[in-house]
Amino acid sequence: MTINIKNFLNDKTKLSKMGEFQSLKQIEGLEMASISADLYKDGRDDLALFYFSKGANYATLNTSNSITSEFIPWNNNSHKKIIKGLLVNTKNANTFTGKQGKESIDTLAKNLSRILTIKESKNQKGTSETVKIKDLIFASTGVIGEEFPVEQIKYRLSDLVDKLRAEHNKMYWIKMASAIMTTDTKPKVAYEEIIIGDELIKISAIAKGSGMIAPNLATMLSFIFTNADINSNLLKTLLKRAVANSFNAITVDSDQSTNDMVTIFSTRAVKIGPNISLNDKAVQKFEIALKNLCLNLAKQIVVDGEGAKKFITVNVINAKSLGSAKNIAFSIANSPLFKTAVSGEDPNWGRIAMGIGKSGELVDQKKLKIKIGNFVVAENGRISESYDEKKLKEYMQWGSISIEINLKLGNDSFTCYTCDFTHDYIDINADYRN
């Protein structure tokens, strides 16, 4: 469950791998900064700004929760395909804040657009470009229902803009990832790079998430940046496909946030071809990298689940449909009984069988095979003849546990990722606002 600190020194990793603090590279056209608005009253950075000097194509996906943060309708009403900036605050969700919360975003947009316009006027070419309020989008995470601290944030905007920098080494990316954390215990970063033609295509990303994690999108914020010139519509399609088996395949506690957001930005710095589409080999190569990156970040969120000690993979195979496989996988993964059994290192496979049955999906018990790790625990409608409780207990001590459900009813499969429930989860959430 722990991340090897030696990986901070690993600059050779170019492909996303859980547990690797990769050497995220700067993305041409992106400037970023973080600062403390003292929202946590302890001096930690809690405000982050991402600025695109030449604008950026973008696509975003939000929570399907019917109650949302005020920033979501603001962003959705923008109707911009090219934006100049993203402002992120922690500690306060700006949800259930009514008129005050909505007006706060207006206030921040007006002030930030003015400050960024002044910055534009001071560029080396001596030309000025107006940054409009609709050029800006927002993200928030934190406590629901508390008055939004607009004055605290507004007061720090000028200093935040002054801190913007275009040079981003590994530690600076980690600093940015830390600035968007709430109950997270570690920053979450990932990087992919590919060669298309003679061009180096880079994808750098950060995320936060620890509790209130369940599809759609979990309780998470994730921001992905690439230098590849991809239009907003194609970015949206690629993001939806990448999220399906990553951010929408994880659960910590089955609770869904009001603030979920994953956004991808293209600074358009590197052309990858004319009139690109999903059928282009360049785009397909980019999509593979994007999917790997999203899955890496999603797994990092699960590993950092509130109070979690064990990472759990639930793989349902040979289902009659994708929907059936998905329902069964999450029925198991979201079961408190199953998750506490894993926490107690108890190979109580009856709780897995229970989870399969309560899913509402039709299964044939006589065909069903259940594996924990490489051990078959149940098949042909009963406990396996090879079942060895002692060996299973030894396996349950591992930090990473895998469950496989073979339904033998079809050809579809789905894998989801979760973690155990510990007493620490209760402690964290009982004390969340203190």
Q: Does the pLDDT of residue 362 top 60, yes or no?
A: yes
- Place 6 in a pLDDT band, splitting at 50, 70 and 90: very low
Fold equal for 9-303 and 311-430: no
Catalytic position from the list 97, 219, 226, 422: 219
* Per-residue model confidence (pLDDT) at position 301: 87
- 94 torsion bin: left (phi>0), alpha (psi -120 to 50), beta (else): left
pLDDT > 90 in the chain, percent: 59
- Catalytic residue list contains 97: no
Question: Mean of the per-residue pLDDT values for the chain?
Answer: 86
Q: Does the pLDDT of residue 215 top 60, yes or no?
A: no
Domain 311-430 -> CATH class = alpha beta
Q: Is the pTM of this model over 0.75?
A: yes
- Place 427 in a pLDDT band, splitting at 50, 70 and 90: low
Rounded mean pLDDT of 123-138? 77
State whether CATH 3.90.950.20 applies to domain 9-303. Answer: no
Q: Does the pLDDT of residue 219 top 90, yes or no?
A: no
Domain locations in the chain as residue ranges: 9-303, 311-430
Rounded mean pLDDT of 363-370? 95
- Place 25 in a pLDDT band, splitting at 50, 70 and 90: confident
Please state which of the ranges 149-153, 168-172, 268-272 shows the lowest mean pLDDT.
168-172
Please state which of the ranges 35-44, 135-144, 252-261 shows the lowest mean pLDDT.
252-261
Please state which of the ranges 175-189, 233-247, 250-264, 353-367 shows the lowest mean pLDDT.
250-264
